[in-house]
Amino acid sequence: MQAQIFNFGRSHTYTNEYLYFIYNFCNFSIYTTLISMKRWIALLVFALLFTSTIYAQKNKRCAVVEYHKQLFQRHPQLKLSYDAFEQQVNAKVANENYLKATLRTSALLEDTTTLHTIPVVVHIIHNNAKGTIGGTNISDTQILSQMPVINNDFRRLNADTTNTPSYFKSVAADMKFEFCMASVDPNGNATNGITRTYNPATSWDLSDDTVFKALSYWPSNQYLNIWVLPNITDTGDGDYQGGILGYSQLPMGDLPGLVHFAPDTSASTDGIVILYQGYGDKGEVYFPYNLGRTVTHEIGHWLGGLRHPWGDCIEGCCTDYVDDTPWQDSADFDYSPCQLRTSNCNGPVDTLMIQNFMQYTGDNCMNLFTEGQKQRSRIAFYNCPSRVALLNSPACGQQSLRTTSTVTSSAASTGLTIYPNPVSYSYSISYQLNKSDNVLLSVYNVEGILVKTLINTTQAEGDYTYTYSADDMAEGLYIFRFVSGGNATTKKIIVVK
């Protein structure tokens, strides 16, 4: 029988067995006359050590909020860029939802069906002076055990999908992302996607972020960097001084048409940070974080900027900008059993989706992302320059090219973009020809009827940008079809007057 969990404050968890031990120990110490005072003290020391061990094994699930608070304090221009990016993503999500509701069309602004593969490099920052495998210098077996977990979780192929309640199954999503250990390093050499770096530090604070990431880093527009550490703390958080399981850097960056606030200074810190005991599902891992879901959770933040379901505000009941995750009044730390919880934020009582990968629940409770999270993730991914660049990385041994608007599979042309989107007055179209070729750019309405042809000519190799007025276009969805070298690329925009 699983032990019921009792929570005593923010970072303590104790089991029935522990409470039973303390109860019997106290009775024993009061009533017995058969043991000496020396043995009684020894037992008391044991109890205190046992308590300390349990305390040490309880870490905060995620510090993404605290990390970005520090990041934005160091680089205020990033906060401006991030806020503008979030506004654009929110607008795109709202526009897609509007189109689905009013035009009754499945044509979305962003591709939701193409499967993409992201190359991963794992940097082990350990304090094992001899460099031998063990402890914080986790084994290759433990490192590699993480890959099937995230690939199954992001494809909804995880075995515990059977634990998804029937009332949530209709919104459970295949995110259409997979991950590979990098097989090519930044210099073009073969690699297993693992680096190992010794440093005597036994713990790293959030404020040390730039320090330990500089010890081992590969370009973040070509790899998902994952740093695995001996211990992670946040001494700057007065409310919480305990250990942390992980955190990640959210997607950000200037979209086409946005004001460029400052050069992007976030590339060298972009990635995910994980406690070594929360990485993988084999080796140096511990319950309830022993199934590799900490990395799944953090990739959810990193990949598409997903928030925690309670909206990350202190009072709870804030939005996570996803329509199909129930409103939630606070974080849920439950993991034994994964019991039903409800929340009352806006009148009606909501059943919480404690099974969501973006919760704080134990690994054993998590089993799904939602369609709304998929929509938001892919919009954010496709519109973040550092994320979409990963689709051209050769690090998995072959390119994973996107065949929609930002990257095209055509050998003759690359980089078709149309901005701003949505458009009210005018819009610009940019693309590059790798060789002289015929170019045809046509505009269709949502019913597939040709509205106009913008370009139909032969053009020389080079970069092209054109600006057109939207005065002759009524409100609604339009599909731009770009043909070059026998290959076609489509881009969808919405016109709002």
Q: Does residue 406 or residue 235 have the better pLDDT?
A: 235
Give percent of the chain above pLDDT 90: 51
Q: Convert the pLDDT of each residue in 70-99 to its tens digit.
A: 999 988 888 888 898 899 899 888 888 887
Which residue among the candidates 66, 96, 298, 315 is catalytic per the annotation? 298
pTM of the model as a whole? 0.71
Q: Which domains does the chain have, with CATH numbers?
A: 5-56 (no CATH), 64-385 (3.40.390.10), 403-495 (2.60.40.1930)
**Strand, helix or coil at 141?**
helix
* Mean pLDDT rounded to a whole number for the chain: 81
**Strand, helix or coil at 300?**
helix
The confidence band for 404, taking pLDDT boundaries of 50, 70 and 90, is very low
Q: Convert the pLDDT of each residue in 217-257 to its tens digit.
A: 999 999 999 999 999 999 876 555 568 999 999 998 654 44
**Does the pLDDT at position 33 exceed 70?**
no
Give percent of the chain above pLDDT 70: 78
Q: Convert the pLDDT of each residue in 360-402 to its tens digit.
A: 999 999 999 999 999 999 999 988 888 988 988 889 874 433 3
Cβ-based neighbours of 404, under 8 Å, separated by 6 or more: 110, 111, 114, 382, 489, 490, 491
Q: Give the pLDDT of residue 493.
A: 84
Residue 228 in contact with residue 276, Cβ under 8 Å?
Answer: yes
Q: Which of 353-362, 391-400, 435-444 has the highest mean pLDDT?
A: 353-362
**Does the pLDDT at position 109 exceed 80?**
no
The whole-angstrom separation of Cα 346 and Cα 51 is 40
Sequential DSSP letters for 77-126? HHHHHHHHHHHHHHHHHHHHHHHHHHT-----SS-SS--EEEEEEEEEEE
Residue at 121: amino acid letter: V
- Comparing C-alpha atoms, which of 223, 271, 206, 13 is closest to residue 119? 223
Q: Convert the pLDDT of each residue in 137-174 to its tens digit.
A: 999 999 999 999 999 999 999 999 999 999 999 999 99
96 noted as active-site residue: no
Mean pLDDT, residues 406-411 taken together: 34
